[in-house]
Amino acid sequence: MKKLGRINHIKDNEFYLENQEGENFKINQTSAYIWKLADGTRNKSEIIDKISQVGEIDSQAATAVVEYVIQELKKVQLITEDNIEACS
- CB–CB of 77/5 below 8 Å? yes
How many structural domains comprise the chain?
1
pTM (2 d.p.): 0.86
Q: Is position 69 within any domain?
A: yes
CATH assignment of the domain containing 78? 3.90.930
Residue 59 belongs to domain spanning: 2-83
* Model pLDDT, residue 1: 85
Residue 45 lies in a domain: yes
**C-alpha separations of 39 from 43, 58, 77 in Å:** 9, 23, 15
Instruction: Work out the angle between the directed axes of helices 59-75 and 29-37 (0-180°, nearest 10).
Output: 80
Residue 7 resides in a domain? yes
pLDDT tens-digit map of 8-63: 988 888 899 999 999 999 999 999 999 999 999 999 999 999 999 999 999 999 99
